[in-house]
Amino acid sequence: MAFWGKHKSVPEVLIELREDDAEFRRAIVAHSFRAGQTVAEADVLSRNLFTLMKGRVQLIREGPNGRRLAIATLGPGAVFGEGALLGAVDWSVKAVALTDCVVWMVPAPQAEALAFRYPVLSWGLLQTVGQRLAQVESRMEEVAYKRLPERLASLLLELANGGRLIRGTSHQSLADMLGTYRETISAILRSFKDEGLVELGYRKIELRDVQGLRMAAGAIE
């Protein structure tokens, strides 16, 4: 039996559980997705609990007018599909792969039993909900106080995560995260390129001037 220590991530603990527990191993269905693919539509989210083992996933809300909004960006260890445990389902939300990713899926009946048996699943879900709430609050603050170019510069720095290269993220994904149109994002990125802040490629953005982006984001007075 694997025990969850503070030094272990949720994916590491679940990998150990899969090795130690035959019931857990039988319940899991592993799937791989390429960037841009739909991981789960709303009906699938309502019937299964998902754990993101590798890569990043966005939860996308689609409005009646076809507008898309990324309500959360999830990283490894995130647990989503809470409708499988709580019964509360948002039928306008689906999960889309932001990068190449691997997810483990457990059907609702087994997920409920395993969540009681292994608190790591419930803890992972609680952590994910908290992170999603923090992201929503951060986005609301940016909408209230920052113009769109500032918000895009902030987002690029966040996605680069201390590096200089963003892979697998389309202009549409950036637009979804900021609640705007792809054409608007593309125009701002072209202006960033003209200013020497970024270099653009297919599903690839290289940060050429990190300090300049920080200034554009309003992080430096």
Task: Decide if 40 contacts 25 (C-beta within 8 A).
Answer: no
CATH number at residue 45: 2.60.120.10
Q: Do 137 and 180 share a structural domain?
A: no
**Domain edge (last residue) among 94, 111, 143:** 143
Q: Do 182 and 121 share a structural domain?
A: no
Amino acid identity of 3?
A: F
Q: Do 185 and 121 share a structural domain?
A: no
Q: Do 65 and 117 share a structural domain?
A: yes
Residue 203 lies in a domain: yes
Residue 221 lies in a domain: no
Tokens of 115: 């969540």
Q: Interhelix angle for 148-160 vs 182-194, to 10°?
A: 80
Helix (H, G, I), strand (E, B), or coil: what is residue 156?
A: helix
Task: Decide if 205 contacts 169 (C-beta within 8 A).
Answer: yes
Residue 158 lies in a domain: yes
Q: Do 107 and 122 share a structural domain?
A: yes
> Which pLDDT tens digits describe the chain residue by residue (221 residues)?
444 445 677 777 788 878 887 888 888 899 999 988 999 999 998 889 899 999 999 898 887 666 778 888 898 988 888 877 776 677 888 999 988 999 999 888 888 888 778 777 777 777 777 777 777 767 666 665 568 999 899 999 988 878 899 988 889 889 888 888 889 999 999 999 999 999 998 888 999 999 999 999 886 54
Domain count, the chain: 2
Residue 5 lies in a domain: no
Please give the order of strands across the beta sheet that includes 165-167. Answer: 165-167, 204-207, 198-201
Q: Do 120 and 199 share a structural domain?
A: no
Q: Do 82 and 55 share a structural domain?
A: yes
Q: Do 27 and 135 share a structural domain?
A: yes
Q: Do 130 and 150 share a structural domain?
A: no
**Domain edge (last residue) among 124, 143, 162:** 143
Residue 78 lies in a domain: yes
CATH number at residue 189: 1.10.10.10
Q: Do 126 and 205 share a structural domain?
A: no
The predicted model scores a pTM of 0.62
Q: Do 128 and 19 share a structural domain?
A: yes
Residue 162 lies in a domain: yes
Its domain, for residue 165, covers: 146-216
Tokens of 45: 């989210």
